[in-house]
Structure formats: C-alpha cells, structure tokens
C-alpha cells in the first residue's frame, strides 16, 4: 500500500470515530482518521462537566428517539453497556454511579479519550490526522473511494462517516456528514438542537432571570413525555436535566407544564393545614418544600390576590385552583439556546436506508454511518455515548 492508501477512512475523531478505528484495526484493517479540529475528542473531554457520562446501567431501545425506533436494537444488543464498562475496568478507570444509573469517571473524561487512543496505538494500524478537513468523497467504480482533504487525497476501500451533528460548533460540530449522505442519495431528516436549555421572551423570562441559579426537583411534561429531575433557572430561561430531556420532545410554538411539587398531593396538604394551622400563610407552608425566592415568584404568578390571607380564610375552591396550578404551571418558551449549547442534534440520516447490522449504506457499497450523524438521539444520561460505542462496533466488524 502506498502512503495515501488505506483500507478504511473515518471522518471524525470523536467517540464513534475512534471506537470504529481501533476495532476495525483489531481486524487487521489499516485505518486513517481525519479530524477537522486541531485536537481529537474535544466533545468527549467537555462531556459531563469534564467527567464524561460514558454509559448508563439501564440501556434500553426506549431511551432513544428515531423515526425508525427499532433500528437501535441490533447494535445495542451486540455491544452492550457492560462491554464498554469492561473496557473501562480493564484500563483501571475509576467511575461512580449517579442518579438514574448514570456512570461518570472519577478522574476526568481525559481517561476515556486516553483509553481510546491507547487502543488505536496498540494496533499499530491507525493514523490520525488533525486539522484535516474533508473536501470531497468520490466513489471509484467498485474500487472504493477517493477522499480529497486539506492534507491531500486518500484512496480507501471504505468510508465511515463519524462526523457527529451540528451541536456545539466550537468543538467541531458540522454538517459534513449530512452533505455526504445526500450526495449518495440518502434522505436526511431535518435537524434541530436537542438536550438544550429553553429560552423565554415573555414575562416569565424576568422570573427566571431573578431566580437564576436556583434549582428545584420538578416534573416537566407535554403530550409526548414527562421527566422528573432537577430544574435550573437561568438568566435566559430554564435548564437542568428535566429541561434538557424535554427539549428533545418540544418544538417552537409549543407549551409545556411544570409540576413544582411532584409526588405531593397539594390540595390534601392545604386542607389538612387549614384545619391544623389556620393562621399560616401559603408561602410559609411552601417554603418547607421549595426555596423561599421560588415561592415568592410563584406567589406573584399564582395567588397574589390572597398572598396576605391566612389559609383558614381561603376557600377550598381557591386552594384547589392554586394546587392545580402548582402541579401544572404552563409555560411557553420562545425557543432554545440552539446548537451553541446543545448536547446533541435531533434528526439526521434516515436509518431505513442504513443496515442496522453493519451500519452500511443501502445505497452505496463501502459507505458507513455511525453515531450522532444518524437519526438516533439518546436521552440524557450516557445513552448517546453508548450509541456511539455500539454503532461503531457494528460498523467495525464489516468495514
């Protein structure tokens, strides 16, 4: 093989790209990975606040959003969360379990990246080029592809598109994967930012600004889904796990509801307090459950006209109305913070045109798609990383 000839070219040195590279090299394939950024694995390094939520103990197909929901089953079942945990343990990487089965490294995401690079190095068959932008991918009869880059051209048998999506462009997010898919006749679903904070432009924005930095456990819900996790108020709107999760199921123009006291039966609570503490104010009762500043804002929004009335003098009808609003406070975001801060990109390459067993294009022999570029988006909690590992493994067995 000449210096510009390889068996496999992988576009993108992120989670799915590096995983595909080392696993394909373990089969004896000579691999080149091209990355347009100046460093590899930038998104890995910043993920999970720098601690990398690398998988989850409870991975199910239902944790993924796709127009073709059965597509993920094959890859996830052949390379599981336990397979990746085994690799992490082999490298002695310490990790901890957080809420909802989320697994994070104890000593930083750099250990996950170092592990992937060490696996690439061990094979002696993986070359990685940074500051290398793909300019064109051309199929050459049945001989594979010629890939033109800013560092020259490469002749390869297989091309693996592991370029990710549009999220966080400062870390290398780009649309090249979608362009390549369309070039070879693939349908690409419209993309939008996912796992992203909500923004507001109405009066509620002033409320979130005043409450910026406060967090409460809340349930956010719409007709498609609901999530009970931390809700964080910001200068621009709402963030925190519950907001990020629901953003995957929300579109511009839609509203959703916030239950500020999930698990409580507020009306029953109010009625019992009406009997036992008739002179107490509602805000005094609620500060047992919520930060005082949050209670004050909710009071202004929901029960300002009876703010100084003791609970014993508020009618049951009014108490029931207040309880209902606290359990289902409706808000209508103006939008989200967009790709700038989004953790993932929703939409992408139509999976009905890709083999769920091999990740190979059904339209172009030798062309593969792995990770986020596909129309597969995981919930928050390590599921997107697991999809990167599983889809990479599937492709690596056939490239």
- pLDDT in the model for residue 134: 96
Q: What is the DSSP letter of 87?
A: H
Cα–Cα dist 111/14, whole Å: 14
CB atoms within 10 A of CB 207: 19
CB atoms within 10 A of CB 161: 31
Residues 15, 44: contact at Cβ < 8 Å? yes
Predicted model pTM: 0.94
Which two tokens mark 67?
Answer: 């127009």
In order along its 399 residues, the chain shows pLDDT tens digits of 567 999 999 999 999 999 999 999 999 999 999 999 999 999 999 998 999 999 999 999 999 999 999 999 999 999 999 999 999 999 999 999 999 999 999 999 999 999 999 999 999 999 999 999 999 999 998 789 999 999 999 999 999 999 999 887 766 667 999 999 999 999 999 999 999 999 999 999 999 999 999 999 999 999 999 999 999 999 999 999 999 999 999 999 999 999 999 999 999 999 999 999 999 999 999 999 999 999 999 999 999 999 999 999 999 999 999 999 999 999 999 999 999 999 999 999 999 999 999 999 999 999 999 999 999 999 999 999 999 999 999 999 999
Residues 6+ apart with CB under 8 A from 344: 165, 167, 194, 195, 248, 372, 377, 378, 384
Residues 6+ apart with CB under 8 A from 63: 56, 378, 379, 381, 383
Nearest-CA neighbor of 129 among 55, 262, 264, 37? 37
């Amino acid at each position: 093989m000449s210096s510009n000839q390889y068996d496999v070219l992988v576009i993108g040195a992120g989670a799915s790209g590096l995983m595909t590279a080392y696993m394909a090299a373990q089969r004896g394939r000579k691999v080149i990975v091209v990355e347009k950024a100046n460093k590899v694995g930038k998104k890995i390094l910043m993920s999970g606040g720098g601690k990398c939520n690398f998988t989850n103990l409870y991975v199910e197909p239902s944790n993924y959003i796709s127009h073709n929901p059965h597509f993920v089953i094959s890859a996830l079942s052949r390379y599981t969360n336990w397979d990746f945990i085994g690799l992490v343990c082999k490298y002695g990487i310490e990790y901890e379990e957080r809420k909802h089965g989320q697994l994070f490294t104890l000593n930083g995401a750099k250990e996950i990246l170092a592990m992937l690079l060490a696996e690439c190095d061990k094979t002696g068959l993986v070359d990685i080029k940074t500051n290398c932008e793909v300019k064109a991918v051309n199929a050459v009869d049945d001989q594979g592809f010629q890939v033109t880059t800013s560092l020259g051209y490469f002749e390869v048998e297989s091309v693996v598109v592991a370029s990710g999506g549009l999220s966080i462009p400062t870390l290398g997010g780009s649309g090249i994967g979608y362009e390549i898919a369309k070039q070879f006749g693939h349908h690409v679903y419209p993309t939008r930012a996912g796992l992203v904070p909500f923004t507001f432009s109405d009066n509620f924005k002033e409320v979130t600004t005043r409450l910026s930095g406060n967090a409460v456990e809340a349930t956010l819900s719409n007709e498609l889904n609901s999530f009970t996790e931390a809700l964080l108020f910001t200068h621009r709107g709402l963030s925190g796990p519950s907001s990020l999760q629901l953003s995957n199921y929300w579109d511009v123009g839609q509203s959703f509801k916030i239950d500020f006291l999930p698990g409580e039966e507020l009306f029953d609570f109010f009625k019992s307090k009406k009997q036992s503490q008739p002179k107490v104010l509602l805000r005094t009762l609620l500060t047992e459950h919520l930060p005082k500043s949050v209670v004050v804002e909710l009071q202004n929004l929901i029960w300002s006209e009876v703010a100084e009335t003791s609970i014993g003098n508020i009618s049951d009808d009014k108490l029931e109305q207040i309880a209902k609003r606290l359990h289902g406070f409706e808000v209508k975001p103006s939008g989200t913070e967009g790709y700038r801060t989004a953790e993932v990109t929703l939409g992408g390459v139509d999976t009905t045109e890709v083999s769920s067993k091999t990740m190979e294009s059904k339209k172009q022999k030798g062309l593969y798609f792995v990770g986020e570029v596909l129309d597969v988006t995981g919930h928050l909690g390590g599921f997107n990383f697991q999809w990167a590992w599983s889809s990479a493994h599937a492709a690596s067995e056939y490239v």
